[in-house]
Amino acid sequence: MRSPASKSGGAPQPGNGVDGLTLEQIVARLGGVLVGDARTVVQRLRPIVTAGASDITFLNRDKFLPLLAETHAAAVILPESLKDARPRSGNAIITADPYLYYARLSQWFWALQQPPFEPGRHATAQVDPAARVSERARIDAFAVIEAGAEIAADVHIGAGCHVGRDARIGPGSVLHPRSIVGWGCRLGARCVLQSGAVVGSDGFGYARQPDGAGVKIAQVGVAVLEDDVEVGANTTIDRGALDNTEIGRGVKIDNLVQIAHNVRIGPHTALAGCVGVSGSAEIGAYCFIGGGVGIAGHLRIADGVVIGGMSLVSRSVRQPGMYTGAFPLDTHANWERNAATVRQLHQLRDRIRHLEQRLETLQPEQPT
C-alpha cells in the first residue's frame, strides 16, 4: 500500500501493477475491428521496430508497411487502408486512425500503471484556513495554497506548487511539482501544468516618464484557462493588464512558451516550444503555431492557421492556411554572400527595371 500524500508527494508516477490487457478488452473499450486471437494479452505499447512478444504497436502510414512483416509485436493497430495486411503474429486491430487509437490506448496503459490517486494533504503543505480545498484533492509536500483559493475534486497539486489568493483550480487538474498559479487566476477542468510553469505573472507594461524611466502599470487582470488546457514546463502566461488573458478550451502549449498580457487563444490551438506571443494578440481556433515563432502584439490570426517554425508574424493573418517566414539554412560561406546581397536587394530590383527599360528602348517587346 502506498500513501504518497503522507510521504513525499509528486507528479503521477508509474507503478508495477499492470498484468496486461487482452485484445478483446481493448476493442471492447476503444472500438476497431479485431483480427486474430482475441485472448492475446499485451502489456505495453512499443514502437514497431522494438516491440516484443508481449507488446502492442501501431502502423500509422502505408510507407512503413515493410516494417509490418518484421515486427515481433503481439498485435498491431492498422489503418483501414491496410485492413488486409497482417503481422507475423496474425493479430491486428483495424481502425480509422491508428495514431488516435494509440493515444487512447497509451492513456489506458498509463492509468493502469499508476498507483491509485489518494486524496489528502501532506503534513508540510501550507493551506490557508480561508482556502476551499475539496476533500477529494491531493496536496503534496511544500505546496502553498493561499486564502480564498478553490481546489476542486480530483485535483493533484504537486510538491512545491503555489496557488495564489483567490485562484481557482478546476476538477481533475494536475499541477506538476513547482508550478505556479498566481492570485485570482482560474483553471478549468482537467488542466495540466508541467513543472516550472507560471500562470499569472505580471504583464510587461510600463509608461515612460519624461526622463525616460519606466513607470509600472499595475497588472490587475487575471489569466483564465478553460477546460483541458495543457501548459508546458517553464512556460509563462501573464495575467491581463485591465482585462484578462484567455486561453481557450483544449489549447495545448509546449515548454518555454511566453504568452503576454491580454492575449486570447481560441479552442484547440497548439503552440510548440519557444513560441512568444506579444500583448493583446488574438489567435484563432485550431491553429498550429510552430516552434520558436514570434507573434507581434495587437494582431489577429484567423482560425485554422499554421505558422512554420521560427517565423515572425508581424501582421494579422486573416485566411486559414500555412504561412512561413524563415531565412533558409545554407553553408555559412554561401549564406554570407547571399546575406550581403539581401541587403542590396532593393537596388538589384531597380537595376532589373532599368535593364528592362533599356532593352525595351533598344528593341520593343512584341505583344504576345
Give the interface segment with a second copy, choosing from 19-27, 31-39, 84-92, 306-314 (CB under 8 A). Answer: 306-314
Q: Which of 202, 115, 112, 196 has its CA nearest to residue 160?
A: 196
Q: Is 150 a residue that touches a second copy (CB under 8 A)?
A: no
**How far is 368 from 366, CA to CA, in rounded Å?**
6
Q: Is 355 a residue that touches a second copy (CB under 8 A)?
A: yes
Q: Is 13 a residue that touches a second copy (CB under 8 A)?
A: yes
Our CB check for a second copy shows the closer of 14 and 90 to be: 14
Examine the residue annotation and report whether 162 is marked as an active-site residue of this protein.
no
Least Å from the CB of residue 292 to a second copy: 4
Residues 70-99 that bind a second copy (CB under 8 A): 97, 99
Amino acid (one-letter) located at 16: N
Site track 258-277 with a second copy (rule: CB under 8 A), x = hit: x-x-------x-x-xxx-x-
Q: Which residue has the cell 503522507?
A: 6
Q: Which of 176, 261, 332, 354 is catalytic?
A: 261
Give the interface segment with a second copy, choosing from 24-32, 61-69, 76-84, 144-152 (CB under 8 A). Answer: 144-152
Around 97, how many Cα atoms within 13 Å sit in the side-chain half-sphere? 7
E strand or H helix at 108, and its extent? Answer: helix 98-113
Q: Is 220 a residue that touches a second copy (CB under 8 A)?
A: yes
DSSP state of 22: E
**How far is 143 from 366, CA to CA, in rounded Å?**
80
Report the residue from 154, 226, 228, 282 that binds a second copy according to the rule CB under 8 A: 228
Residues 174-193 that bind a second copy (CB under 8 A): 176-178, 180, 182-184, 192
Q: Is 171 a residue that touches a second copy (CB under 8 A)?
A: no
Least Å from the CB of residue 318 to a second copy: 12
E strand or H helix at 33, and its extent? Answer: strand 33-35
> Which grid cell sits at 304?
485554422
E strand or H helix at 35, and its extent? Answer: strand 33-35
Q: Is 195 a residue that touches a second copy (CB under 8 A)?
A: yes
Give the interface segment with a second copy, choosing from 26-34, 70-78, 86-94, 312-320 (CB under 8 A). Answer: 312-320
Q: What is the DSSP string of 63-93?
A: GGHHHHTT---SEEEEEGGGTT---TT--EE
- The site that binds a second copy (CB under 8 A) totals a number of residues, namely 149
Contact 175, 169 (CB under 8 A): yes
Our CB check for a second copy shows the closer of 38 and 132 to be: 132
Q: Which of 265, 235, 263 has its CA nearest to residue 249?
A: 265
Our CB check for a second copy shows the closer of 66 and 212 to be: 212
Q: Which residues are catalytic?
A: 261
